[in-house]
Amino acid sequence: MKIPEEILRQLGVTSDDDLVLELEKALYGLKQAGRLWNQLLHTTLVEIGFVQSLTDWCVYFRRQGGVLLVVGVYVADLSVTCTQQDAVDAFFSELTVLSIMDLGPASKFLGMRVSYREDGYDLDQEVAILDMLKKHGMEFAHGVRTPIGVECNERQEAGDDKLPVLGGENVVAVKQFQSLVGSLMWVARCTRPDIAFAVHKASRRTHDPTVAVWKLAKRVLSDEDFVADKEDRKSVTGGLVTIDGMPVSWTCKKRGGVSLSTMEAEYTAASVMTTELLGVHELLGVLGVEHEVPMTLRVDNQAELKQLEGEGASAKAKHIDLRIKFVGDYTKRGVLKPEYREGENIPADLMTKALEAPRLVVLRGMVGLH
């Protein structure tokens, strides 16, 4: 940490090499501060009877007299919900030692706007998206119907120019592109799974962006596929977990290796989404939330379904045997129920493909996006 020269003069030293300071408490901005705050908050919550979830360490819960209180911890911001309002008020009284304030019912949280309805809540990031448009000079841009064109091809052509490192007139700096992609990743992670695939495509070139990828990122803002990457033939694994039709978890990630068949690519996605389902299952169980078991694992590949049912075992599947047994084990236990569904009706395609506008609208509606 560099100490200002005027402070050194006041302390009577000529160099910060000759000076050692002892902090009496953590200061905001120091690299240790975040961890020390988390340790203090964790200790305090445990002392007043909370249990940390093993599934999601950001979630704490406490049951007292039939009343369930759940706390979500996001650094210094807490989201609190309970079956009784009095218990919420009492909880904040217990945290006065930490100077944590109760700001009342959430209207904004972590950049998301929270709107209340009789049957639940709506989450959106309209304000954040409008701010992004202004920041990148796109507040008057024409809207598009899809975040990525169906003609999208990962391969970089010879004429696809790199973005210049330095700024200037009619020139986009690399850091501006990286800033935009980072903002889009946050939106895709929080409230817009339908742009996850397009953002995934753009984010893979943040180290060496091209003009074409910059245009893709701007297109996203103004609005499991076998061998999905036409250059290195690596597939994209994607899927959604929904509760009562609403998405609560989703993923879109390029595989590290090349799949040798469509079935293998699908099995990779199935095993990844099985871990997501198990995490949600365990968290709901800890919180005492009733949910349907077995949970449905929807796939659109008949060969994959036969393997799960033990009807398609062959030497050709030995290299993915562990993934098959992992998913199959929870199927036999009655935790999962694999189910075939036509590819046209799989919302997970939002995570893995560039879609035409009509189908994009249909799949958005299937998972409550509007």
314-359 pLDDT per residue, tens = 545 555 567 777 888 888 899 998 888 876 778 888 888 888 888 8
CA angle 179, 184, 190 (to 5 degrees): 130
The tokens describing 294, both together, are 């077995």
State the pLDDT confidence band at 1, using cuts at 50, 70 and 90: low
State the pLDDT confidence band at 86, using cuts at 50, 70 and 90: very high
The whole-model pTM stands at 0.77
The tokens describing 54, both together, are 């093993």
Provide Rg for the chain, Cα atoms. 25
From CA 182, how far away is CA 75, in angstroms rounded? 19
pLDDT of residue 185: 94
Q: At what angle do helices 211-221 and 126-135 cross, to 10 degrees?
A: 140
**What percent of the chain has a predicted confidence (pLDDT) above 90?**
29
- Looking at the predicted structure, is the pLDDT value of residue 310 above 70? no
Q: How many Cα atoms within 13 Å fall on the side-chain side of residue 238?
A: 26
More confident residue, 250 or 175: 250
Pairing between β-strand 236-243 and β-strand 246-254 as defined by DSSP bridges: antiparallel
Give me the amino acid identity at 231: E
SS3 74: strand
pLDDT tens-place string over residues 92-136? 999 988 888 899 999 999 989 999 988 888 999 999 999 999 998
